[in-house]
């Protein structure tokens, strides 16, 4: 990436915009609230918990009136769902759709900020041809019912898909839908496009790793330093599975002529425990995936094919659901326990979002300290690998403010320069263990101080 220069006024605007974005909210971070459980906290307690976090949206699989009411006047966006079983009635009886909206939307809006209604969940991969053919008429009738109460331009209507609607997803540029679904999907996408509603999908790198449990696949799925995967069509090297899956969906939409339909990640997550024969679930993996995903979203980098904007993403899930069938991992996706404590910390709490300011040398002199050691990239490392190192380091609690616009280390504005600063700071903040200056064998320790001008690289003695 070539260095770029910006007018002072533009830099000031970018800094203000950055501050305003994070000061107000992180509207791209949502969470799923599943209710297949018998031990969930009272709805007011859940509303209070959500308000203590940076989560700005919550997705319900139904339309629990107690929870919707508890979220009134919180500013939290609410996605409500019509069940698969309601689709035939919604499709065939406009009055049923009007009644559904009158019961589940009108009494609560606008105090409760309902933003989206999802009609059905993963219907297109259900193999129920009757349900699949009735999905679009059901969505149209819900939209018409919203229009009838003057809410059609305020609340969107869509449905949620599994990644199974794609026939091809690797490499991402070849993403395409199953031909057998194309006619039905064209109708649904025409509806999305015409109403401005999103294409909602459930990408799970967890399932990709479970079917391919190699160490390099795990690092790719967890946003950790890895060799990356090269898309020869676009000449893009993907450094994480999430971006690859989302871009595959983008390519599939583009191939059908709907590249402007917004993508929303309706579910994604990683279980923190499982049965003894399950290789993927662990607290370490769940914390890495969700924590690094949140850091990636906060970076506003976007994906290679959709840069500069974070996709709205609903983490799965707020709580464990103890009545879910299947392996133990199905009951262990929760970010929080039902006693409202964390299962593990991924930096969502408003009280824990500001990382500690790293210690820096008192003297601004760029001259080497005796015995000082700095973690620096090896020569010849690709920009894509350096970007992965940068994402990893900044996603693990270090203060990357100095390499943001207006910071003392922002210039030169290159991936190499920014990665070098972040990699060193990560090493210094990790007790200066040599293995924390490895980055998949792309970094080394040096006694040459890389500090320059007012950009000071912290150091430690050997």
**Residue 357 phi/psi, 5° resolution?**
-70, 125
Tokens 């024969």 locate to 277
The structure's pTM equals: 0.77
* Tokens standing for residue 58: 């919550």
pLDDT average per 10 residues of sequence, the chain (462 residues): 37 39 66 96 97 97 97 98 98 98 98 98 96 98 98 98 97 97 98 98 96 91 90 94 98 97 98 95 96 88 90 98 96 97 93 41 35 86 86 83 88 91 91 81 88 90 45
**Could you say which of 26, 262, 267, 411 is catalytic?**
267
**Contact partners, residue 177, CB within 8 Å, separation at least 6:** 165, 166, 167, 185, 252, 255, 256
Domains, the chain, ordered by start = 23-352 (3.20.20.80), 374-446 (no CATH)
Instruction: Tell me the angle at which helices 182-195 and 129-148 cross, rounded to the nearest 10 degrees.
Output: 10
Instruction: Tell me the angle at which helices 129-148 and 94-104 cross, rounded to the nearest 10 degrees.
Output: 60
* Tokens standing for residue 432: 């200066």
Q: Are 326 and 267 a contacting pair, CB within 8 Å?
A: no
**Could you say which of 122, 262, 321, 411 is catalytic?**
122
CA atoms of 32 and 57, how far apart (whole Å): 9
* Tokens standing for residue 96: 């049923």
pLDDT of residue 461: 52
pLDDT of residue 438: 83
pLDDT of residue 95: 98
**Residue 229 phi/psi, 5° resolution?**
-130, 125
CA atoms of 97 and 56, how far apart (whole Å): 28
For residue 434, cis peptide bond before it (omega within 30 degrees of 0): no
pLDDT of residue 370: 45
Q: Are 55 and 77 a contacting pair, CB within 8 Å?
A: no
Q: What is the pLDDT of residues 149-191, one digit of tens each?
A: 999 999 999 999 999 999 999 999 999 999 999 999 999 999 9
pLDDT of residue 15: 38
Active site residue 216: no
Active site residue 267: yes
Please count the other Cβ atoms lying within 10 Å of the Cβ belonging to residue 107: 12
């Amino acid at each position: 990436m070539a260095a770029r220069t910006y007018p002072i006024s533009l830099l000031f605007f970018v800094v203000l915009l950055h501050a305003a974005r994070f000061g107000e909210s992180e509207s791209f971070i949502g969470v799923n609230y599943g209710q297949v459980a018998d031990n969930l906290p009272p709805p007011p307690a859940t509303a209070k918990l959500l308000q203590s976090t940076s989560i700005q949206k919550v997705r319900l699989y139904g339309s629990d009136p107690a929870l919707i009411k508890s979220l009134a006047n919180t500013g939290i966006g609410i996605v409500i769902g019509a069940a698969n079983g309601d689709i035939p009635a919604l499709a065939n009886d406009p009055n049923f759709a009007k009644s559904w909206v009158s019961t589940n939307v009108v009494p609560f809006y606008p105090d409760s900020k309902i933003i989206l209604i999802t009609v059905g969940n993963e219907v297109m991969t259900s193999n129920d041809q009757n349900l699949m053919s009735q999905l679009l008429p059901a969505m149209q009738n819900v939209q018409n019912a919203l229009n009838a109460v003057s809410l059609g331009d305020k609340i969107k209507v869509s449905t949620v898909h599994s990644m199974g609607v794609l026939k091809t997803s690797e490499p991402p540029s070849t993403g395409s839908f199953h031909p057998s679904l194309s006619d039905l999907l064209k109708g649904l996408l025409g509806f999305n496009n015409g109403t401005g509603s999103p294409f909602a999908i459930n990408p799970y790198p967890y399932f990709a790793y479970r079917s391919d449990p190699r160490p390099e696949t795990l690092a790719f799925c967890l946003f950790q330093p890895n060799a990356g995967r090269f898309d020869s069509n676009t000449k893009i090297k993907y450094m994480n599975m999430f971006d690859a899956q989302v871009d595959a969906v983008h390519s599939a939409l583009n191939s059908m002529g709907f590249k402007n339909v917004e993508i929303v990640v309706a579910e994604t997550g990683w279980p923190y425990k499982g049965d003894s024969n399950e290789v993927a679930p662990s607290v370490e993996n769940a914390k890495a995936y969700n924590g690094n995903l949140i850091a990636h979203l906060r970076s506003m980098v976007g994906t290679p094919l959709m840069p500069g904007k974070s996709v709205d993403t609903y983490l799965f899930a707020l709580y464990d659901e103890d009545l879910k069938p299947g392996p133990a991992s199905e009951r262990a996706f929760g970010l929080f326990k039902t006693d409202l404590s964390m299962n593990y910390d991924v930096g969502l709490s408003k009280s824990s979002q500001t990382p500690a300011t790293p210690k820096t040398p008192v003297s601004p002199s760029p001259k080497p300290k005796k015995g000082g050691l700095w973690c620096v990239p090896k020569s010849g490392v690709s920009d894509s690998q350096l970007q992965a190192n940068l994402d990893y380091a900044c996603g693990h609690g270090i203060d990357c403010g100095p390499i943001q616009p207006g910071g003392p280390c922002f210039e030169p504005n290159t991936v190499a320069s920014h990665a070098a600063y972040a990699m060193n700071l990560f090493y210094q903040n990790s007790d200066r263990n040599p293995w924390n200056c490895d980055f998949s064998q792309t970094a080394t320790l040096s006694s040459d101080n890389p500090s320059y001008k007012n950009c000071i690289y912290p150091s430690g003695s050997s």
